């Protein structure tokens, strides 16, 4: 059977023997009733676990709306107008509303970037600011010892609304919900304390119950106080196809369930060999982006198996810190140990690769220098076909194969789970 995997602006074609192929995973086909701002308005008109937003706010309240920064795919320019309209209908003047970009560990925005994120009309209506990790209010400490230090404009608001998109997150389970507060508008120390738990086995994609890192996020959100959320689910083109509004937990869980219906893909068993790509350009521009497909693929491979990661990566690593963690590590496991002591943005993705290597080997089909690839504990292969042929010879004629042509969007789940 001929399968195609996006590779930059081209494709890698692979002949997989039909008898060896367990599954070729694709997003589940779904018909979406609404899109864009219409989906957001519908969510606000039909909140989950809470009354309508306009009945909860009163004139005189200072409102903080926390939304995603430029590193996230949320189209805030589509989410904010219906939210602001609801607030305006309740008599809230635009002067009493502040939009806060949740930076987490990321850099500040330029004015042009802020304007692009929210749209010209919103930018000219309301105050827009970045979260400030150096001007925070200490609001408490979680049971796990994470300080709840929240940027002042959010901590001192009378009413907090958190926006976000819901997608699988490789150690928080899902994005969205209280994640806008922790790590969104928190300090470096708080993020370090929370994210050190990423090495826990239950801190993984698609898992909420029993995920200690997610539980810590939600406890921090409860200590701070989140009065309302508006979360969106996006399709593979990053367009809104569904939205939820209301209670921070109840609404978030409904959004997670919708995402599951779109992107959870059942597999009968874990395979000896997993072929995975991000789907080509621009998603495989560098290894930093391509890692997302690798992290989903780890759920499809058996212990001792091989993941064949297919990504052109013409830009190389894509992050200086990510590169330094990988190239300076004496062993793959040392990165896993290091992240438990010292969380660093960029380093966390290197540690995630180290965690995959604890269970499986990784063959890498890319444009990166083969010696450089070997130095970061991966095995370079010239083509996906070559990599598969070598893996089939290694595991024998009955070797099982799972293919993931859009690995960043599909989460393999064992059927018995």
Structure confidence by residue, pLDDT tens digits, 310-349: 999 999 999 899 999 999 999 999 999 999 888 887 899 9
| Mean pLDDT to the nearest integer, 411-416 | 84
- Structural domain count, the chain: 2
Residues 354 and 268 in one domain: yes
Residues 301 and 161 in one domain: no
Judge whether 256 lies within some domain: no
Judge whether 221 lies within some domain: yes
Judge whether 253 lies within some domain: no
The per-residue pLDDT for 417 is 42
C-beta neighbour count of 11 within 10 angstroms: 17
238 — pLDDT class (breaks 50, 70, 90): confident
250 alpha carbon, distance to own chain's centre: 20
Apex 68 CA angle, 65 and 70, nearest 5: 135
Residues 211 and 300 in one domain: no
Judge whether 390 lies within some domain: yes
Q: Which two tokens stand for residue 54?
A: 């306009």
| Mean pLDDT to the nearest integer, 359-381 | 98
Q: What's the CATH number where 178 sits? A: 3.40.50.11440
d(CA 319, CA 176): 24
CB 388 within 8 A of CB 309: no
Judge whether 127 lies within some domain: yes
Residues 177 and 286 in one domain: no
Last residue of a domain, one of 182, 213, 234: 234
Residues 306 and 329 in one domain: yes
| Mean pLDDT to the nearest integer, 94-117 | 93
Residues 23 and 96 in one domain: no
Judge whether 165 lies within some domain: yes
Give me the chain's average pLDDT, please.
95
| Mean pLDDT to the nearest integer, 215-234 | 98
| Mean pLDDT to the nearest integer, 214-225 | 98
Domain of residue 143: give its range.
36-234
104 — pLDDT class (breaks 50, 70, 90): confident
| Mean pLDDT to the nearest integer, 251-259 | 98
Residues 184 and 78 in one domain: yes
Residues 6 and 153 in one domain: no
| Mean pLDDT to the nearest integer, 353-372 | 97
Last residue of a domain, one of 219, 234, 249: 234
d(CA 285, CA 292): 12
Nearest alpha carbon to residue 284 among 7, 72, 3: 7
C-beta neighbour count of 284 within 10 angstroms: 29
Residues 85 and 18 in one domain: no
Residues 223 and 326 in one domain: no
Give the burial class of 201: count Cβ atoms within 10 A of its Cβ; 0-12 exposed, 13-18 middle, 19 or more buried: exposed
| Mean pLDDT to the nearest integer, 238-261 | 97
Judge whether 172 lies within some domain: yes
Residues 40 and 20 in one domain: no
Judge whether 198 lies within some domain: yes
The per-residue pLDDT for 105 is 77
Q: What's the CATH number where 340 sits? A: 3.90.226.30
Residues 223 and 274 in one domain: no
The per-residue pLDDT for 170 is 87
The per-residue pLDDT for 416 is 61
Q: Which two tokens stand for residue 407?
A: 């690995």
| Mean pLDDT to the nearest integer, 272-280 | 95
d(CA 406, CA 236): 9
Q: Is residue 107 over pLDDT 90?
A: no
| Mean pLDDT to the nearest integer, 195-209 | 92
d(CA 192, CA 178): 17
> What CA–CA distances, in Å, run from 134 to 66, 151, 345?
17, 8, 18
């Amino acid at each position: 059977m001929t399968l195609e995997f996006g590779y930059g602006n081209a494709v890698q074609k692979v002949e997989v023997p039909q008898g060896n192929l367990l599954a070729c995973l694709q997003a589940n086909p779904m018909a979406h009733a609404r899109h864009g701002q219409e989906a957001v308005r519908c969510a606000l008109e039909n909140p989950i676990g809470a009354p309508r937003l306009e009945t909860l706010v009163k004139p005189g309240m200072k409102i903080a709306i926390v939304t995603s920064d430029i590193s996230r795919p949320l189209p805030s320019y589509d989410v904010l107008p219906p939210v602001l309209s609801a607030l305006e209908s309740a008599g809230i003047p635009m002067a009493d509303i502040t939009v806060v970009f949740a930076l987490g560990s990321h850099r500040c925005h330029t004015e042009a970037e802020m304007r692009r994120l929210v749209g010209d009309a919103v930018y000219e209506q309301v105050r827009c600011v970045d979260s400030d990790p150096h001007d925070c209010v200490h609001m408490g400490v979680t049971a796990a010892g994470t300080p709840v230090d929240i940027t002042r404009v959010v901590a001192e608001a009378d009413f907090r609304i958190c926006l976000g998109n819901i997608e699988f997150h490789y150690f928080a389970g899902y994005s969205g919900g209280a994640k806008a507060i922790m790590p969104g508008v928190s300090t470096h120390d708080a993020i370090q304390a929370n994210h050190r738990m990423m090495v826990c086995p239950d801190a993984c994609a698609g898992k909420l119950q029993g995920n200690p890192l997610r539980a810590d996020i939600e406890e921090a959100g409860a200590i701070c106080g989140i009065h309302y959320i508006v979360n969106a689910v996006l399709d593979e083109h990053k367009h809104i196809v569904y939205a939820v509004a209301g209670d921070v937990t109840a609404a978030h869980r409904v959004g997670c369930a919708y995402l599951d219906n779109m992107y959870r893909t059942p597999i009968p068993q874990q395979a000896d060999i997993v072929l995975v790509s991000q789907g080509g350009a621009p998603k495989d521009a560098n290894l930093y982006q391509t890692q997302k497909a690798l992290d989903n693929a780890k759920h499809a491979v058996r212990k001792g198996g091989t993941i064949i990661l297919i990504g052109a990566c013409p830009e190389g690593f894509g992050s200086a810190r990510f590169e330094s963690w990988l190239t300076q590590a004496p062993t793959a496991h040392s990165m896993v140990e290091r992240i438990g002591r010292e969380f660093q943005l960029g380093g966390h993705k290197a540690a995630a690769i180290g965690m995959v290597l604890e269970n499986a080997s990784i063959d890498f089909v890319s444009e990166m220098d083969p010696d450089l690839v070997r130095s970061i504990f991966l095995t370079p292969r010239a083509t996906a076909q070559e990599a598969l042929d070598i893996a089939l010879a290694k595991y024998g004629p009955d070797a099982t194969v799972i293919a993931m042509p859009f690995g960043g969007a599909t989460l393999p789940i064992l059927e018995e789970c």
